[in-house]
Amino acid sequence: MTISLSGFIEFIRTDMEITAIQVPDDSPSIALAYGGAVEWVNQDIASVMPNLYTVAVYNLAASFLVNYGTESVFSELRKTLGLNNFKAGVITGASDNSTSSQRLVPDFFKDLSLADLQMLLDPWGRRYLMIAQQFGSLWGLS
């Protein structure tokens, strides 16, 4: 699989289930999200795993689209997914008078940037991070 803007548009229509009525094919939001993802995703992945590179680019572009797209469908998705709700990090524990709970936070979470934390909030960003993490310190992820 090779990446292309038309391939990303197909991804939007099938994986994201966003119609051409909601967001036309010539929307600047689509081109900007796709272009940003192509620049962001490490191209070395394409040499090792070309199909996974395509999946990484399209999922990161979808995350960018959901987070920054100007069309109303994206505003609704941001509201539904809580993408505009600020979260400073990962909660490690909670308690009240009679109960408490804690989770082990993997070291991976300690090095996440604000952009990475934002990507964790939507399913496409999480898919991208799963791929990026497999390639370790190229991104500062380990």
3-state secondary structure the chain: CCCCHHHHHHHHHHCCCCCCCCCCCCCHHHHHHHHHHHHHCCCHHHHHCHHHHHHHHHHHHHHHHHHHCCCHHHHHHHHHHCCCCCCCCCCCEEECCCCEEECCCCHHHHCCCHHHHHHCCCHHHHHHHHHHHHCHHHCCCC
- The string of pLDDT tens digits covering residues 32-64 is 999 999 999 998 899 889 999 999 999 999 999
Domain chopping of the chain, boundaries: 5-138
pTM of the model: 0.81
- The string of pLDDT tens digits covering residues 7-39 is 999 999 999 999 999 999 999 999 999 999 999
